[in-house]
Structure 1
Amino acid sequence: MLTKAQRAYNFNAGPSALPLEVLEKAQKELVDFQGTGMSLMELSHRSPAYEQVHNQAIANLKELMNIPDNYQVLFLQGGASTQFAMVPMNFLPADQKAAYVLTGAWSEKANKEAKMFGDTYVPFTSKETNHNRIPKLDELTFEDNTAYVHITSNNTIFGTEWFEFPDTGDIPLIADMSSDIMSHPVDVSKFAMIYAGAQKNLGPSGVTVAIVRDDLLARANIENVPTMLRYDTHVKNNSLYNTPPTFGIYMLGLVLEWAKEQGGLEAITKRNQEKAALIYDVIDASNGFYRGHAEKDSRSLMNITFRVSNEELEKQFLAEAKAAGFVGLNGHRSVGGCRASTYNAVPYEACKALSEFMIEFQKKNS
C-alpha cells in the first residue's frame, strides 16, 4: 500500500485526485461489502444494502450543500456533456430563448447543443480576451422572454471562476458546476438547477449529479423527449429507473463522508484558498517569469493556469516537473501552457511542493 509520501503529486484536471482515506476504505471493502460476501460492484441496485448507500449519499449531499427541501437530487450518467442537451430538451420551449453566458469552452459547447433544440442568445462572452475573466454583474442584462440563464461556474481550461452570481429574478438560473461543486459554500436557492460531473470534487468519472428545483421540473417538456433524457423519469424512480453506476455512487458517498470529516465546506474552502495562494503567490512574485492567464479577480481556486516566460523554458519546466513527480501540469490541449488543478482532494503538501519547485526552477533559469 502506498503511503502519502509515495503518492504522486496529482494535478490532473479530471479524472482527478481522490482522498487517500477514501481509496483505502474502498480497498478494504472491495471484495466483501459489509458482510454481504460480495463486492458492492456485484450487488443488485434493488438490494437493501445498495439502496442504503444510494440514499445516504443523497442525504449527505443535501446536508453538506444545505440543499432546500424543494429540490430533487439526481444521480445521472453521460457527464455534463449530456446535460448540455438534456437541459434545453426539457426546459427550452419553442416560444422562448435561453441565455448562455460564455466564459469558456464548456459554456460554448453547452450553447452549441442548446441551439439544436431552440433559440439562444449570448448576453456576454469573454472570447475576445481569450476567456480570461468572469463578467461583472452589471454587464449582464437578460431579455424578458428568457426561459433560463445558463452559466459555467468554473472554467477548467482557462482558470476562471464565478464567486458572485447574477440575480435573474423570475428567470431560472442554471449552472454547470462540474469543476467547483463542493469546493466552497453556494446558496443553492439562487439556482433553479445545478449539475456537475463527479470526476473533479465528488468522486470518480461516470456519475453526474443534478440538483433541480421542483418548480422548474413542473414546467419541463415531457412530450417527444426520450424516457432516459427526461428529468421526471429519474425523479419518480429515485435515480433507479435503470441500473445506475453503483460503484461510482458508492465512491461519491465515501467522498461526501470524508468532506464531513474535514469540517464541511467552510473548512474545505479555507484549505482550498490556502492551497491556491501558495501557487498564485509564486506567479505574482516572479516578475513575469510566470504569467497567470486569468485576471486576478476572476482567478479560479480549482484550476490555476499560467505560462512560463518563453516556449522553450515552458517545455523544460513541464519536463522537469514530470520527472520530479508532478502529474497533470500540461495545459488543456486546445490552449497549451500550464495548469495545476487543486481540487478538494489535492493535499496542501502537493501544492507546497509545486510552489517550491516553481521557485527553484525560476532561480536556475533566470
Structure 2
Amino acid sequence: MDLTDRPRRLRRDGIRPLVSETRLDARDLVAPIFVDATTDERVPIESMPGQERVPVEQAVERVEDVLATGVEAVMVFGIPESKDERGTRAWAEDGVVQRAVRDITAETDAYVITDVCLCEYTSHGHCGVLEPDAAERPTLTVRNDETLDLLAETAVSHAEAGADMVAPSSMTDGMVGAIREGLDRAGYSSVPILSYAAKYESAFYGPFRDAADGAPAFGDRRHYQMDPANGREALREVRLDVEQGADVLMVKPALAYLDVVSAVRREFDRPVAAYNVSGEYAMLHAAAENGWLDLEEAAQESLLSMKRAGADLIVTYFAEDVAEHL
C-alpha cells in the first residue's frame, strides 16, 4: 500500500485554515427583518426562534442590532395595516416598507434590499391579481401581465423611499423586465435587481408565512412557483431573468437545492444568492432544542455548504448569530 499521498497532513491545526477552500464572512450574509404596521411592540415569531416582527418605529433599532454583528445588509419585509384584492398597500407612499426604508436609510449605513411581491398585501395571499372567481376554480390563475404593472409600481416606490436594491419574488413571467423598465423610466437606473430567479413551490416556507402573514387564503402557489422536481427548468428561468436585466440571481430554498445553486454558478456570470429559508432555519432550531445537534456548528456548516456550492451571498435568519461567531 502506497501511503506517500497523505491528505491528512493538511488537516492539522495551523495548516488547516490556511488551505481551507471555502470561507464565510459576515459581509456575505443578508439578514431578513420583518416590519409590522399592525403592532406597537416587538412580537416574537413562534415558529422561528429568535426572530420577531418589529413596529415601524423600531425598524432602525432592529437594523442597528444587525449591523452590530458585522452583517452589513438587510432585506425588509412588511406586514401592512390593511389588505385588499390588488395589494394596493404594497406601493403606497406611506406603506410599511416605504416608511421603514426611509427611516433606515436616513439613520443607518445598512445596505437595504426590499422584497417586491404582493402576497403580504393581498387579501387572498397570492402573488398577484387573480382571475375572477379564482377561489372556486380547480386551477388557480394569477393574471400574469396585469400583475407586472403592480410589481413595477411597488419597486419604484421602494426606490423612491431609498432602497439600495429591489428583490422581486413572485415568479411572475417578465417581472424583471417590467421592474427594470419602471425603475429606469422613474430615474432609478442605478438601483440593481436581485431576482428570485429560481423559486420553488416548497414545503420549507411554512414558518415564513406565519412571520409575514402571507399564507394563501385558499389554494396554493404551485401554478406559478417552480416544481421541486425540475432542475433544467431553473436554468431556463434564470436565463430569462438575465436577458431582462437581473443583476443578482437567487435560488430559493437553499439546502435542498444546492445542485441548482451550483448549476447557476457554472452557467451565468452574475452574482448568485441563496435563500436559507425559514423551514431550514426552524428545523435546525427544533433539532437543537431536542439536543440532537449543536445549533451553532450546524448553522455554520449549512451556510458553508451554500458558499461551497457557489453562492456569493446568502439571505439567512442565522445571519446575526453566525456573524458573531465567525
Q: After TM superposition, is the score higher than 0.5? A: no
Greater Cα radius of gyration, structure 1 or 2: 1
What TM-score do you get using the length of structure 1 for normalisation?
0.23
Q: Between the two structures, name the one with larger relative contact order (CA 8 Å, sep ≥ 6).
A: 1
What TM-score do you get using the length of structure 2 for normalisation?
0.26
